[in-house]
Amino acid sequence: MAKEFDVCVIGSGPGGYVAAIRASQLGFNTAIIEKRHLGGVCLNIGCIPTKALLRSAEVYESIEDAADYGITVNDYEADFEGIIGRSRNVANKMSKGVQFLMKANKIEVFEGKGVFESKEQIKVVNEDDETQEQITADHFIIATGARARELPNIKIDGEMVIDYEKAMQLEEQPEKMVVIGAGAIGVEFAYFYNTIGTEVTLVELEDSLVPVEDKDIGKELGKIYKKKGIDVRTGSTVEQVEENGDGVKVTIKTGDEEEVVEADVVLSAVGVTGNVEGIGLDEIGVEYSKGTITIDKENYRTSVENIYAIGDVAGGPWLAHKASHEGIFCVEKLAGEDPLPINYNNIPGCTYCEPQIASVGYTEEQAKEEGYDIKVGKFPFSASGKATGLGHEEGFVKVVFDEKYGEWLGCHMIGSHVTELIAEAVVARDLETTGHEIISAVHPHPTMSEAVMEAVAEAYGEGVHLGN
């Protein structure tokens, strides 16, 4: 007999598990179905393990630069197995944390794949497609996430061409790697592998790295990556990957020129596509298009009334915090509450290579396209006492304001640990804070955060530290 619940969530990533906890807090009898590991991509094979790898690279870089700080280190090397092992331990710890939270919130966890049998009932099947359980619920929330997208001419075979999941768990450190795609995932892996000694070629179709970011950010990262020894190929495509003994031959096209680069492995990092297949969506009439479930953003309801979709499977931006916020909003609406709608123009995006990148709102180009007359301010970390003391003078904070009403349209940063600074702009923009309120809010000295205030002061022609 089917088990009955008020809310059943399919998928336990940061969208699904957070939605389930909020549902339980609001009094719903809640179930969650997970076919792989609690915590989803983010905790197990995404955000968290990559940040652990990047931390190892940062430590390695600090040791490499130790002499600059007056410290002699004679002997060091990257223990690749140890680095991967630490990252896996961090991921496993976080996944266990979700297990604890499910228990603490009295959420029943079903291990297996959820497949809809009707609009009111879902079955949980094991790897052999055998039904383990049947669940009925008043409301279903689909949070099945996304997986690596594949280029039509470059198949991910797990050997010559790998995806992010394999790239974070390789058994041996490659000597040479080609990374296709310079979005967040591509540039993070390029930094990680380059730092610990792999020769990295980074290929990007657009004319700058991190193409969704403000153009100045992409240019700055390109300069820094070249200095770090990464072979950066923008305006380029990978045409072909062929077997070459134990490695690969990669044909890279830039303009009309083709060049063959030899490597051990290719990482394909060209975005993600939603997991819409094999869950019975067609059978029950849940509409989707190009790997994204169609939803209304007032409720996150799909084309079927009692079925909702959140997180990566409901479209971009493909970010953990966006997935969690959608989960909370969706469930609060179900409970009859009146949560504030999510402002999709105020979702920060962060990239954790070194230097890090963080941004929110309109880029300079987008603000102009939207028809705003703008004021732009920029403050380089080379003029920051804290950044200089840290030995991280590269990068800057750039802010974009509306000339007419003073709205803070966008904030873009590249520099050491700037991902910790972006929340100021998010909160300020949420509260419709003016530039002068930021300038007059006393920021602590010496901190990297002063650069935000200084950049705003520059936008208003009131900066004191650049000698303009």
Ligand X SMILES: Cc1cc2nc3c(=O)[nH]c(=O)nc-3n(C[C@H](O)[C@H](O)[C@H](O)COP(=O)(O)OP(=O)(O)OC[C@H]3O[C@@H](n4cnc5c(N)ncnc54)[C@H](O)[C@@H]3O)c2cc1C
Distance in Å, CB of 334 to ligand X, minimum: 17
Backbone φ, ψ for residue 312 (5° rounding): -55, -35
Comparing CB distances to ligand X, the nearer of 35 and 139 is 35
Comparing CB distances to ligand X, the nearer of 361 and 377 is 361
Q: State CA 337 to chain mean position distance.
A: 29
Distance in Å, CB of 110 to ligand X, minimum: 8
Distance in Å, CB of 14 to ligand X, minimum: 5
Omega of the bond leading into 49 within 30 degrees of 0 (cis): no
Comparing CB distances to ligand X, the nearer of 16 and 181 is 16
Tell me, what DSSP letter sits at residue 301?
B
Number of Cβ within 10 Å of residue 100's Cβ equals 10
230 burial type by CB count under 10 A (0-12 exposed, 13-18 middle, 19+ buried): buried
Residue 325 falls in the annotated catalytic set: no
Q: Compute CA distances 211 → 125, 182, 227, 270, 450, whole Å.
A: 40, 8, 20, 12, 27
Number of Cβ within 10 Å of residue 82's Cβ equals 10
Structure tokens that stand for 319 in this block: 């970010």
Task: Tell me the C-alpha distance between 133 and 406, whole Å.
Answer: 57
Distance in Å, CB of 171 to ligand X, minimum: 18
Distance in Å, CB of 366 to ligand X, minimum: 21
Closest CA to 196 of 220, 172, 217: 172
Distance in Å, CB of 314 to ligand X, minimum: 8
Distance in Å, CB of 279 to ligand X, minimum: 4
- Is 389 annotated to bind a ligand? Reply is no
Comparing CB distances to ligand X, the nearer of 329 and 372 is 329
Number of Cβ within 10 Å of residue 135's Cβ equals 22
In contact, 424 and 448? CB cutoff 8 Å = no
427 burial type by CB count under 10 A (0-12 exposed, 13-18 middle, 19+ buried): exposed
Structure tokens that stand for 100 in this block: 């604890």
Q: Is 317 left (phi over 0), alpha (psi -120 to 50) or beta?
A: beta
Structure tokens that stand for 316 in this block: 């971009």
* Residue of closest CB approach to ligand X: 145
- Is 188 annotated to bind a ligand? Reply is yes
- Is 204 annotated to bind a ligand? Reply is yes
How many CA atoms, within 13 angstroms, populate the side-chain half-sphere of residue 343?
14
Residues that bind ligand X (CB under 6 A): 10-16, 33-36, 40-42, 46-47, 50, 113-114, 143-146, 164, 185, 275, 279, 311-312, 318-321, 323, 352
Q: Which of 139, 321, 436, 445 is catalytic?
A: 445
Comparing CB distances to ligand X, the nearer of 261 and 358 is 358
Backbone φ, ψ for residue 301 (5° rounding): -80, 140
- Is 271 annotated to bind a ligand? Reply is yes
- Tokens 């339980």 belong to which residue? 24
Omega of the bond leading into 355 within 30 degrees of 0 (cis): yes
- Is 428 annotated to bind a ligand? Reply is no
Comparing CB distances to ligand X, the nearer of 311 and 361 is 311
Task: Tell me the C-alpha distance between 202 and 224, whole Å.
Answer: 13
Q: Do β-strands 176-180 and 265-268 pair in parallel, antiparallel, or remain unpaired?
A: parallel
Which amino acids are annotated as binding site, given as ranges? 51, 114, 181-188, 204, 271, 312
Which amino acids are annotated as binding site for NAD(+), given as ranges? 181-188, 204, 271
Residues with a catalytic annotation lie at 445
Which amino acids are annotated as binding site for FAD, given as ranges? 51, 114, 312
